[in-house]
Amino acid sequence: MTALPSPRGPLSHAVIAALRDGPVDQLPGAADTRTADPYGDDLQLALYVLYELHYRGFALVSDDLEWHPALLAARQCLEAPFLCALRADTPDDRGARQALDDLLVEPVDHTGSVSHHLADHGELWQMREYAMVRSLYHLKEADPHVWVVPRLRGRAKAAMVAVEYDEFGAGRAERIHARLFADLMEDLGLDTGYGRYVDQAPAEALAVVNLMSLFGLHGALRGALVGHFATVEITSSPGSRRLAAAMRRLGAGPAAEHFYTEHVEADAVHEQVVRHEVVAGLLADEPHLDADIAFGADATELVEARLANRLLTAWNNGRSALYDPQPVAAH
């Protein structure tokens, strides 16, 4: 199991100390989180750690703490400013169709695209950094989306499960997409351990993972989670095609390339199923969730753009983008 990460400020220090040593009565409250940067390292790490209790947890941390009332209260205090910032920084006047249609049109300007950068002139150390920070997402890919299944019905539920079945390898353990990403990491000479690179992941990478956990754990945000899922599937295929090309150009290895070639074909199919069955089915059942689906899509684009900016700004200046750069990452 993953060890608890190193804290990055008072919020994450209090959460990590409570899980490691107890007691849990000195956790962050509303007054502590109100002035914190909602996208900052401290709040995002604290939130990541609390969310991880609902996944595989941490070494030497009791499973009984998953539903501890004090920890849930602290998590709510951390979620509030994050969710408020997401709503403030995304449009509030459009529906799901417009939000998802916009994703089908790729920008002419590629300067903010990590996949274009890596495909065209990225270096191997940059690809390794990308895999390190994305591993927090891809090694639990599809897991938080499962939480929405019992909150759907009929057409939307059937289609959601069909897509998830593919994500989990269609019954074959070696084809689970998280397993394929671990194989990619092995080709790149990286540690394949679950959560291994949390200490190196910047706040922007933590926010990408926290977003899907936030949406997945709250039934009231089920529409936003479907919007998140749709965005991932719609944007995955073209980006995966470029990243597969990058792996070939850099000689990263067959497993590294295979992860992305697998997503080129699979996600092109998934896109159609998600748009026309999951989203359309959910809207047929619950039309009032139209704006929530759009919010989920827009929030996903927002946090992904923030991560892309972090990576490209550092790389274009010849620097590592990691929170705590490893010596092997930039040379």
Domain positions in the chain = 10-88, 96-316
Residue 110's SS3 state is: coil
Is the separation of the CB atoms in 92 and 286 below 8 Å?
no
Q: How confident is the model at residue 95 (pLDDT cuts 50, 70, 90)?
A: very high
Q: Structure pTM?
A: 0.94
Task: Choose which CATH entry (3.90.700.10, 3.40.50.150, 1.20.910.10, 2.30.110.10) describes domain 96-316.
Answer: 1.20.910.10
Per-residue pLDDT at 169 exceeds 60: yes
pLDDT of residue 267: 65
Instruction: Give the distance from CA 158 to its chain's centroid.
Output: 24
> Judging by beta carbons within 10 Å of its beta carbon (0-12, 13-18, 19+), is residue 69 exposed, middle or buried?
exposed
Is the separation of the CB atoms in 323 and 202 below 8 Å?
yes
Mean pLDDT, residues 247-254? 95
Mean pLDDT, residues 224-245? 93
pLDDT of residue 264: 82
Give per-residue pLDDT as tens, 17-65: 999 988 777 898 999 998 999 999 999 999 999 999 999 999 999 999 9
Interatomic CA distance for residues 280 and 278, integer angstroms? 6
